[in-house]
C-alpha cells in the first residue's frame, strides 16, 4: 500500500514541558490519525530539533525506537520516517532496523530515506558529513545494498563508501518493504527514485511542484519505467483555525521561508487549498504536519476527516 494520506509528527515540545508526557501525547496523535483516515504516521529522523521549527536543544526522540513503540499503540497505519538520513547508519544496519519494525508492526513499515543534510547534527554527534556529492554517492551505494536485503536477497557489494558480504536479513514477514525517497533534486534524487523507490516525497515550493512532477515522470521514462508505478506525495504544514483572525495570527508565526508550504484555515479551507495546489499539480498523495496544535485533542481528527475524501 502506498501513502495516500500521511500524518507527520515533527515536534515534541508540548506546553506542559514534562518529558514524561511526550510519548503519551505522540500516541494520542497517532491514534487520532489512524481513526480519522490517515493511512501513515511518520516522524523525522533527526537528533536535534530543526531550524524553523525550534531550537536544537528542544526535545527530539530517536525515530526508529519511537516507531517501534507506536506499532504497539496502533493497528493499521503504516509507519515511516520522513525521511531517514542515510549518513546516520550503515545500510545493512538500516535494512535490519526497518525489517525489524516491519516484523513487530505486522507488515506496516515503509523505509523513507534521503541523503542527509543537517550539518550541525553530524558535527556535534560525530557523523561524517562530507560534501553534497559524497552524500549522494553514499545514498546510491546504500540503496544497492538495502533494496536487495528488503527483498530477501543476500547482497554482496563493495563500493567507495560501503561494503556488504552476503548480508542476510531474517526474519521477514513480507516479500519486500516499500521504499520512499524524499527530496527535490531532479538530477540525483529523482533518478535514484526512478531506479529504487516505490514512492517519492517531493520537497519544493508550490510554484515548482507541477514541473517537479513532470521531471520525475521523465526520469522514469528514461529507464523505461511506467511513471504510474512511482507514487508521489508532498509535505505540507497545516494550521487548523476557526476564524480569519486566528488564521492571520497563525501565518505570522510561520517563518518567512516556510510560508509557501503552509496551509491555514478551517478544515474545509485547508482541504480546498491542498486539493487545488498539491493534488492539482499531479501529486498522488498528501502528508501533513501540524506543528502548532497537532497535540491538541481533536485537531488531527478534524484534519483527517476533511482530507481523507480527497485521496480515496
Residues 6+ positions from 113 with CB-CB distance below 8 Å? 81, 83, 84, 86, 94, 139, 142, 143, 146, 179, 180, 181, 182
CA 100 to chain centre: 18
pLDDT tens digits, residue range 91-112?
Answer: 999 999 999 999 999 999 999 9
Distance CA 66, CA 18 (A): 17
Residues 6+ positions from 20 with CB-CB distance below 8 Å? none
| Burial classification of residue 234, based on how many CB atoms lie within 10 Å of its CB (0-12 exposed, 13-18 middle, 19 or more buried) | buried
**What average pLDDT is seen over the chain?**
95
pLDDT tens digits, residue range 171-198?
Answer: 999 999 999 999 999 999 999 999 999 9
pLDDT tens digits, residue range 260-273?
Answer: 788 999 999 999 99
Pairing mode, if any, of strands 157-158 and 163-164? antiparallel
**DSSP helix/strand/coil, 8:** strand
The C-alpha cell that represents 3 in the structure block: 501513502
φ and ψ at 45, to 5 degrees?
-100, 80
DSSP state of 151: T
pLDDT tens digits, residue range 8-41?
Answer: 999 999 999 999 999 999 999 999 999 999 999 9
Length of the chain: 312
- Residue ranges of domains in the chain: 5-310
Distance CA 307, CA 312 (A): 9
Please name the residue that has the C-alpha cell 534524487. Answer: 189
**C-alpha distances in angstroms, 21 versus 14, 48, 237?**
8, 19, 24
Query: How many CA atoms, within 13 angstroms, populate the side-chain half-sphere of residue 62?
Result: 7
Residues 6+ positions from 77 with CB-CB distance below 8 Å? 30, 33, 34, 38, 39, 40, 41, 108
- The angle subtended at Cα 52 by Cα 209 and Cα 241, nearest 5°, is 75
Superfamily of domain 5-310: Luciferase-like domain (3.20.20.30)
Q: What is the mean pLDDT of residues 51-76?
A: 96
Amino acid at each position: 500500500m502506498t501513502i495516500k494520506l500521511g500524518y507527520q509528527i515533527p515536534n515534541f515540545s508540548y506546553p506542559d514541558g514534562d518529558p514524561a508526557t511526550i510519548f503519551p501525547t505522540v500516541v494520542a496523535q497517532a491514534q487520532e490519525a489512524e481513526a480519522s483516515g490517515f493511512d501513515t504516521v511518520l516522524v523525522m529522523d533527526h537528533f536535534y530539533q530543526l531550524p524553523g521549527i525550534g531550537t536544537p536543544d528542544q526535545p527530539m526522540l530517536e525515530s526508529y525506537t519511537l516507531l517501534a513503540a507506536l506499532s504497539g499503540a496502533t493497528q493499521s497505519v503504516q509507519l515511516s520516517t520522513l525521511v531517514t538520513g542515510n549518513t546516520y547508519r550503515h545500510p545493512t544496519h538500516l535494512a535490519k532496523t526497518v525489517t525489524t519494525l516491519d516484523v513487530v508492526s505486522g507488515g506496516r513499515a515503509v523505509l523513507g530515506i534521503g541523503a542527509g543534510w543537517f550539518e550541525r547534527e553530524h558535527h556535534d554527534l560525530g557523523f561524517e558529513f562530507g560534501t553534497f556529492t559524497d552524500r549522494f554517492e553514499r545514498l546510491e551505494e546504500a540503496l544497492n545494498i538495502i533494496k536487495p536485503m528488503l527483498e530477501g536477497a543476500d547482497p554482496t557489494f563493495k563500493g567507495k563508501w560501503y561494503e556488504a558480504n552476503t548480508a542476510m536479513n531474517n526474519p521477514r514477514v513480507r516479500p519486500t518493504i516499500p521504499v520512499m525517497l524524499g527530496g527535490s533534486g531532479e538530477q540525483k534524487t529523482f533518478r535514484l527514485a526512478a531506479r529504487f523507490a516505490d514512492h517519492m516525497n517531493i520537497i519544493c515550493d508550490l510554484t515548482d511542484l507541477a514541473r517537479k512532477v513532470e521531471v520525475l515522470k521523465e526520469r522514469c521514462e528514461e529507464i523505461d519505467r511506467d511513471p504510474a508505478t512511482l507514487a508521489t506525495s508532498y509535505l505540507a504544514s497545516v494550521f487548523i483555525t476557526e476564524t480569519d483572525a486566528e488564521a492571520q495570527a497563525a501565518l505570522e508565526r510561520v517563518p518567512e521561508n516556510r510560508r509557501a508550504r503552509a496551509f491555514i484555515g478551517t478544515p474545509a479551507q485547508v482541504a480546498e487549498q491542498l486539493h487545488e495546489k498539491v493534488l492539482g499539480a499531479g501529486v498522488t498523495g498528501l502528508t501533513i504536519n501540524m506543528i502548532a496544535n497537532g497535540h491538541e485533542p481533536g485537531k488531527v481528527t478534524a484534519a483527517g476527516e476533511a482530507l481523507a475524501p480527497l485521496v480515496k
